[in-house]
Amino acid sequence: MINVKVILPSGIKIDQECDSCIIPGVDGDFAVLEGHTAFITKIRPGLVTIDVKKQSTDYAIHDGFVTVEDNKVTIVSERIEKADEIDKNRAEQAMKRAKERLAQTNNSEIDFRRAESALKRAITRIRTSN
Amino acid sequence: MANIKDLKQRISSITNTRQITNAMKMVAAAKLRKAQASAVNLRPYADETAKMIQTLRAKQTIIDHPFLSLRPKKEKILLVVLTGDKGLCGSFNSQILKKTESFLKKHPNCDIISIGKKGNDFFKKHKANVIDTFTGIFQELNHKLITEIAQELEHKYLNEDYKEVVFIYNAFKSAIESEIVHKTILPVANNDELEVKKLEYLYEPDEDTIIEELVNKYTFIEVKRALAESFAAENASRMTAMDNATENASELINTLSLEYNRERQASITTEIIEVSSGAEAINN
C-alpha cells in the first residue's frame, strides 16, 4: 500500500491509502507502485488516477509538484478536481472560447499563453469527466 | 460622595460602550473563523513547498541561483513589517512595532516596506526609511495583489543592494495567543525544522528547472502566508481584547449599580427621617 496526499492552498484535499496511482509528470505519465524510487517532478495538466482495490478514481490536475519517497506520494498543487465535481458544459464552453481566441493570430491584444493554458485546463477537465 | 444623577449617567454611558465592544467582539469572531481557516489550511502547502526546496538543496552541493545563495558582502536589509489597518486589538500592533524598533536598532541600514495602516503611521512619526506601503489589503487577499507584492520583493532583491529580505509579522497560534515571527524570506534560508530525508532522488526534467519553478512559487507563498497569518492573529487579538473590554464594562456597571442603589436608599432614608422628625416636632 502507498499513501497519497494532495495538498492545496485551501488545505489537504486527499489523504488516503491506495494500491497504485498514475500521475502526469512533465516528461510523461508515471505510475507509482509500492517500492517506487525517490523521485521529484513537476506536474503537467492531465489525469491523476488513484487505484484502491481495482476501483479507480480520476482527478483533473493542472499544475504542481510531486514527491515520491518511502511509499508516500505528496502532490502539491493549486487545484485538483474529482471527475464528478467537474461541470462538463462549462469546460466545453471554456474550450470553445479558448480556441476562438487562439484562432485570432493577428490580434496582438490576446494573451496567447493565458488562452493556451485555459485550453489545456478545459481539455483536461473534459477528459477527466468522460 | 457621587451624586445620584451622575451615577445614573455613567451607568448608561458604560452600557453603551459595552454594547459597542460586544458588537466588535462578534464581528472579530466571525472574521477570525474565516481568517483562521485560511491561515491554518495554507500551512501544509507552504511547508511542503519549502521542504521540496530544502530537499533539492540537501542533495546539490552548489546551487547557482540568486535566491538561494547568500550575499555576505552586502549590508542593507529590506524589512517587511505587517501591522493591522485598525486599532482596538490589544497589543497586536504595539508588539510588532516594538520588535521592529529593536530590530532597527541592531540593523540601522534597513529599507522598510510597511503593510498595514498602523505601521505606516508609526514609521512616519519615527522618520524611518519607508520605500513602499500597502493598506487595506487584508480583507480580500487576492492572487493578483500577492503576486504584485512578491514580484516587487523579488525585483528589489535582484536589482538592488540588499543582503536579505526579512518579514516581521504576527503568526496565529490560538484565539488568545499569537507569536511574533521574524523570518528571512530571501535568500531562502536553511530551515532545520523541516524534516528532510537524505534520499537519492531522481528528478524530472532536471534539478535546475525544478528549483527555478519552486523558488518562483516560494516568495508568493511566503507573502500569502504572512498576510493570512497576520490577519488571523489580528482578529484573534481583537476578539480577546474586546471580550476583556466587555467583561470589564459589565463589572464596572455592577459596582456602579451597587453604589447607585446605596445612594438612592440613603437619600430615601434621610427623607423619611426628615419627615418623621418634622411630624414629631409638630406633635410635641
Cβ–Cβ contact A76 with B under 8 A: yes
Instruction: Name residues of chain B where pLDDT drops below 50.
Output: none
Cβ–Cβ contact A74 with B under 8 A: yes
In which domain, by residue range, is A93 found? 87-129
The answer to whether the CB of B187 falls within 8 A of the CB of B69 is yes
Per-residue pLDDT at B195? 65
Say whether B45 and A39 touch across the interface (CB within 8 A).
no
Give the orientation angle of helix A112-129 with respect to helix A88-103, to 10 degrees: 150
The CATH number covering residue A114 comes to 1.20.5.440
Residue holding cell 467537474? A86
Residue holding cell 484562432? A103
For residue B108, cis peptide bond before it (omega within 30 degrees of 0):
no
Instruction: Looking at mean pLDDT, say which of A16-20, A101-105, B184-188 comes out highest.
Output: A16-20
- d(C-alpha B284, C-alpha A102), whole Å: 114
Chain centroid, CA B26 distance in Å: 18
Q: Is A66 exposed, middle or buried (0-12, 13-18, 19+ CB in 10 A)?
A: buried
The answer to whether the CB of A75 falls within 8 A of the CB of A61 is yes
Smallest Cα distance from A40 to chain B, Å: 5
Q: Which residues contact B60 (CB under 8 A, 6 or more apart)?
A: B207
Residue A69 pLDDT > 70, yes or no?
yes
Q: Can you read off the three cell numbers belonging to residue A64? A: 504542481
User: Both A78 and A96 in a single domain?
Assistant: no
- d(C-alpha B65, C-alpha B75), whole Å: 19
Cβ–Cβ contact A65 with B under 8 A: yes
User: Both A40 and A70 in a single domain?
Assistant: yes
User: Both A105 and A117 in a single domain?
Assistant: yes
Q: What is the pLDDT of residues A24-51, one digit of tens each?
A: 998 889 999 998 988 889 999 999 999 9
Chain centroid, CA B7 distance in Å: 38
User: Both A13 and A39 in a single domain?
Assistant: yes
Confidence of residue A84 (pLDDT cuts 50, 70, 90): confident
User: Both A91 and A76 in a single domain?
Assistant: no
Per-residue pLDDT at B228? 92
What residue type is B41 in one-letter code?
N
User: Both A13 and A58 in a single domain?
Assistant: yes
Tally Cβ neighbours within 10 Å of residue B233: 30
User: Both A91 and A68 in a single domain?
Assistant: no
Taking contacts as CB-CB distances below 8 angstroms, the residues of chain B near A71 are: none
Element (DSSP H or E) covering residue B102? helix B92-106
Backbone angles phi, psi at A26, to 5 degrees: -60, -35
Q: What is the pLDDT of residues B110-126, one digit of tens each?
A: 899 999 999 999 998 88
User: Both A56 and A75 in a single domain?
Assistant: yes
Chain centroid, CA B193 distance in Å: 23
Q: B61 versus A22: which is more confidently predicted?
A: A22
Q: In B126-206, where does DSSP find H-type helix?
A: 143-159
**Nearest CA-CA partner of B192 in B61, B68, B50:** B50
Q: Which residues contact B45 (CB under 8 A, 6 or more apart)?
A: A7, A8, A9, A76, B221
Residue A67 zone, left/alpha/beta (φ > 0; ψ -120 to 50; rest)? beta
The answer to whether the CB of B166 falls within 8 A of the CB of B185 is yes
Per-residue pLDDT at B52? 86
Active site residues of B: 89
- d(C-alpha A2, C-alpha A69), whole Å: 10
Taking contacts as CB-CB distances below 8 angstroms, the residues of chain B near A67 are: 52, 55
User: Both A72 and A105 in a single domain?
Assistant: no
User: Both A16 and A71 in a single domain?
Assistant: yes
Per-residue pLDDT at B217? 87
Confidence of residue A117 (pLDDT cuts 50, 70, 90): confident
Cβ–Cβ contact B202 with A under 8 A: yes
Q: Considering chain B, what percentage of its residues have pLDDT values greater than 90?
A: 49
Question: Alpha-carbon torsion B88, B92, B95, B96, what sign?
Answer: negative
Backbone angles phi, psi at B201, to 5 degrees: -85, 150
CATH topology of domain B21-241: Pyruvate Kinase; Chain: A, domain 1 (3.40.1380)
Smallest Cα distance from B189 to chain A, Å: 20
Average pLDDT of chain A is: 88
Per-residue pLDDT at B196? 66
Q: A105 versus B275: which is more confidently predicted?
A: B275
The answer to whether the CB of B33 falls within 8 A of the CB of B180 is no
Confidence of residue A75 (pLDDT cuts 50, 70, 90): very high
Per-residue pLDDT at B284? 77
Per-residue pLDDT at B178? 85
Domain count, chain A: 2
Instruction: Give residues 23 to 42 of A whose Cβ lies within 8 Å of B.
Output: 25-27, 37-42
Smallest Cα distance from A9 to chain B, Å: 5
Q: What is the pLDDT of residues B178-208, one digit of tens each?
A: 889 888 888 887 766 666 666 777 877 787 8
User: Both A77 and A102 in a single domain?
Assistant: no
Q: Length of chain B in residues, anyone?
A: 284
Taking contacts as CB-CB distances below 8 angstroms, the residues of chain A near B197 are: 38, 69-70
What residue type is B200 in one-letter code?
E
The answer to whether the CB of A1 falls within 8 A of the CB of A71 is yes
